[in-house]
């Protein structure tokens, strides 16, 4: 079952600014909500996101309870070399999702 | 303090006007075909951008789920949807735009969710999927996605007519403690505000939709339940014939409009 969608341009010119878009499935339960019986729903959120381009971290983010479900993050980077761009989301209760995308830089 | 004193008579006047307005709403008319607008057109720029971009649209997570389920074997028959229907992008194209559709075996219209579950029980010999569960929403979203951009085509013949009429009657019937009919908001007051939000025309073009308020994908019947609770009426059960008839009428009312599934709504 798909847990993340990422888009990276398949091809880019060296030095070009490329846009990367990511979407991940997560309920982002804040820990402040209660059930209809008044019981507190424990916090369950993604804590961090990191993007690694051929071994180098190019973007990272800390996520907090006020972020909506299914977080969508988009950012830009400079296409430097061909290779893979890896994405990793880590969160409460052992949540971990990884995704990779290939890019060819000419 | 000054503001509050000034506010009171104005509020009372507004309430009186509203009451008069609702009382006068006896001969409600349907929206002319050319003036119909999808809920998309009532949304803000950011929400439209979310729907338009498949990476930003969280509904696509369910579509991908549905694609995986489409190809997975299920039930004692050991068959996947794909084993009978093949490539969904061809076989399911336009299908969601025709539902609810008349089912001769049950002698009444059934909606897309019910069709998927009948396929599961009859052809896959599998247990039906739970309404609003992740799997049924996924399959529905995947099938509906194949109709994106196609016009809604509801069959309006002597078989569906009684059910269409029943759905229309529900749309025009006052219900709940607030004594409201669907038509009073969605035919007569669309474009005006309710609790600060624009009232749309209630065309089900994007279902199942990702609703920001829900932080999740949901079916048309979930949305209908919302309206029922809002007008202090007791909602029907999921899959109830009354709701399917209302779905049929709403889809017929949106005939010719383009499918947007999975839509995004505020």
- A68 lies within 8 A of chain B by CB: yes
Average pLDDT over residues A24-50: 96
Q: Considering the domain boundaries, does residue B32 fall inside one?
A: no
Please give the domain boundaries of chain A with CATH numbers for all domains.
Answer: 4-105 (2.60.40.10)
Number of domains in chain B: 2
A106 pLDDT above the threshold of 60: yes
Same domain membership, residue B257 and residue B182: yes
A83 pLDDT above the threshold of 90: yes
pLDDT < 70 positions in chain B:
1-28
Taking CB atoms and an 8 Å cut-off, how many pairs form between chains A and B? 41
Q: Tell me which of B109, B125, B145 is where a domain ends.
A: B145
List the domain range (segments joined by +) for residue B214: 40-52+152-265
- Nearest CB among A7, A23, A74 relative to B58 is that of A23
Q: Tell me how close the Cα of B125 comes to any Cα of chain A, in angstroms.
A: 22
User: What pLDDT sits at residue B29?
Assistant: 79
Is residue B227 part of the annotated active site? The answer reads yes
A12 pLDDT above the threshold of 70: yes
Contact A5 B53 (CB under 8 A): no
Set of chain A residues whose Cβ sits within 8 Å of the Cβ of B61: 2-3, 5, 23, 25, 70
Confidence of residue A1 (pLDDT cuts 50, 70, 90): low
Q: Tell me how close the Cα of A68 comes to any Cα of chain B, in angstroms.
A: 7
Same domain membership, residue B194 and residue B127: no
Q: What is the pTM of this model?
A: 0.88
Average pLDDT over residues A21-44: 95
Tell me the pLDDT tens digit for each residue of B44-62: 999 999 999 999 999 999 9
* DSSP sequence for chain B: -HHHHHHHHHHHHHHHHHHHHHHHTTS--PPPGGG---GGGGS-HHHHHHHH-TTT-THHHHHHHHHHHHTS-BTTTTB-HHHHH--HHHHTTTTGGG-SEEETTTTEEE-HHHHHHHHHHHTS--PPPPTTSHHHHHHHHHHHHTTTTPBP----STTTHHHHHHHHHHHHS-BTTTTB-HHHHHTTSTTSEETTEE-------S-SEEETTTTEEE-HHHHHHHHHHHTT-PPPPTT-HHHHHHHHHHHHHTTTPBP-PSPEE-
User: What pLDDT sits at residue B96?
Assistant: 97
- The complex scores an ipTM of 0.90
């Amino acid at each position: 079952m798909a847990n993340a969608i990422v888009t990276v341009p398949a091809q880019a010119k060296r030095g070009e600014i490329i846009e990367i878009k990511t979407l991940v499935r997560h309920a982002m339960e804040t820990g402040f909500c209660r059930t209809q019986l008044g019981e507190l729903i424990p916090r369950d959120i993604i804590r961090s996101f990191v993007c690694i381009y051929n071994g180098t971290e190019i973007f990272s983010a800390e996520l907090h309870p006020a972020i909506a479900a299914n977080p969508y993050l988009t950012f830009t980077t400079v296409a430097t070399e061909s290779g893979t761009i890896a994405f990793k989301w880590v969160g409460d209760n052992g949540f971990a999702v990884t995704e990779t995308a290939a890019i060819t830089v000419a | 303090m000054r503001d509050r004193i000034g506010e009171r008579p104005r509020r009372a006047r507004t309430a009186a006007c509203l009451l008069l307005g609702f009382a006068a709403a006896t001969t409600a008319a349907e929206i002319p075909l050319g003036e119909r607008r999808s809920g998309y057109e009532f949304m803000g720029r950011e929400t439209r951008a979310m729907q338009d971009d498949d990476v930003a649209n969280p509904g696509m997570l369910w579509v991908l789920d549905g694609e995986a389920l489409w190809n997975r074997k299920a039930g004692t028959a050991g068959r996947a949807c794909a084993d009978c229907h093949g490539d969904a992008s061809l076989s399911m194209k336009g299908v969601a735009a025709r539902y609810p559709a008349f089912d001769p075996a049950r002698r009444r219209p059934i909606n897309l969710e019910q069709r998927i579950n009948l396929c599961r029980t009859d052809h896959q010999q599998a247990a039906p999927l739970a309404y609003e569960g992740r799997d049924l929403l996924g399959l529905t979203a995947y099938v509906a996605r194949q109709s994106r951009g196609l016009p809604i085509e509801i069959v309006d013949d002597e078989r569906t007519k009684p059910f269409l009429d029943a759905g229309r009657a529900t749309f025009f019937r006052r219900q709940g403690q607030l004594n409201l009919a669907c038509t009073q908001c969605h035919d007569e007051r669309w474009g005006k505000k309710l609790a600060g939000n624009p009232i749309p025309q209630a065309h089900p073009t994007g279902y199942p939709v990702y609703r920001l308020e829900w932080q999740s994908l949901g079916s048309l019947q979930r949305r209908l339940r919302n309206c029922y609770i809002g007008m202090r009426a007791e909602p029907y059960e999921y899959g109830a014939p009354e709701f399917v008839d209302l779905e049929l009428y709403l889809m017929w009312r949106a005939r010719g409009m383009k499918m947007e599934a999975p839509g995004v709504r505020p």
